[in-house]
Amino acid sequence: MIKPIDPNSMNQTAASKPAVEKPALDRRALDRRALDRRVALVTGGIGGLGSEICRQLALAGREVVAVDLAARGERAAAFHEEVASFGGSIRFEPADVSDFDSCQQLIARIEQQHGSVDILVNAAGITRDASLRKMSPQQWHELMRVNLDGVFNMCRNVVDGMTERGFGRIVNISSVNGQTGQFGQTNYSAAKAGVHGFSMALARETARKGVTVNTVSPGYCDTPMVAAVSAEIRAQIIADIPVGRLGAPADIARAVKFLAADDAGYITGANLPVNGGYFMSF
Ligand code: CAA
pTM of the predicted protein model? 0.89
Which residue has the CA at smallest separation from atom 26 of ligand 1?
131
Q: What's the pLDDT score for residue 18?
A: 56
Task: Report yes or no on 31 lying in a domain.
Answer: no
Task: Report yes or no on 112 lying in a domain.
Answer: yes
Q: What is the DSSP string of the chain?
A: -PPPP-GGGSSS-TTTSPPPPPPPP-HHHHHHHHHT--EEEEETTTSTTHHHHHHHHHHTT-EEEEEE-TT-HHHHHHHHHHTGGGTTSEEEEE--TT-HHHHHHHHHHHHHHHS---EEEE-------B-GGG--HHHHHHHHIIIIIHHHHHHHHHHHHHHHHT-EEEEEE--HHHHH--TTBHHHHHHHHHHHHHHHHHHHHHGGGTEEEEEEEE-SBSSHHHHTS-HHHHHHHHHT-TTSSPBPHHHHHHHHHHHTSTT-TT--S-EEEESTTSS---
Which residue has the CA at smallest separation from atom 42 of ligand 1?
184
Once rounded to an integer, what is the mean pLDDT over residues 113-142?
A: 98
Task: Report yes or no on 175 lying in a domain.
Answer: yes
Q: How far is the CA of 135 from the centre of ligand 1 (A)?
A: 12
Assign residue 72 the CATH number of its domain: 3.40.50.720
Is residue 204 a contact partner of residue 188, using CB atoms and an 8 Å limit? no
Q: What's the pLDDT score for residue 3?
A: 47
More confident call, 252 vs 1: 252
Q: How far is the CA of 229 from the centre of ligand 1 (A)?
A: 9
Task: Report yes or no on 12 lying in a domain.
Answer: no
CA distance linking residue 234 with residue 220, whole number of Å? 9
* Structural domain of 83: 36-273
Q: How far is the CA of 136 from the centre of ligand 1 (A)?
A: 16
Ligand 1 lined by 236 (C-beta under 6 Å): no
Q: What are the tens digits of pLDDT across the range 91-100?
A: 999 999 999 9
Q: What's the pLDDT score for residue 88?
A: 86
Is residue 194 a contact partner of residue 25, using CB atoms and an 8 Å limit? no
Q: What are the tens digits of pLDDT across the range 258-279?
A: 999 999 999 999 999 999 999 9
Active-site residue among 188, 220, 266, 278? 188
Task: Report yes or no on 3 lying in a domain.
Answer: no
Q: Which atom of ligand 1 is nearest to the CA of 133?
A: 25
Ligand 1 lined by 68 (C-beta under 6 Å): no
Instruction: Tell me, yes or no, if 266 is annotated catalytic.
Output: no
Task: Report yes or no on 202 lying in a domain.
Answer: yes
Q: Name 115's Cβ contacts closer than 8 Å, sequence gap at least 6.
A: 39
Helix axes 100-114, 150-165, angle to 10 degrees: 30
CA distance linking residue 150 with residue 135, whole number of Å? 21
- Looking at the chain, the whole-number percentage of residues with pLDDT higher than 90 is 80
Would you say residue 83 has pLDDT above 80?
Answer: yes
Task: Report yes or no on 279 lying in a domain.
Answer: no
Task: Report yes or no on 18 lying in a domain.
Answer: no
Domain count, the chain: 1
Which residue has the CA at smallest separation from atom 22 of ligand 1?
131
Which residue has the CA at smallest separation from atom 47 of ligand 1?
226
Q: What is the mean pLDDT of the chain?
A: 91
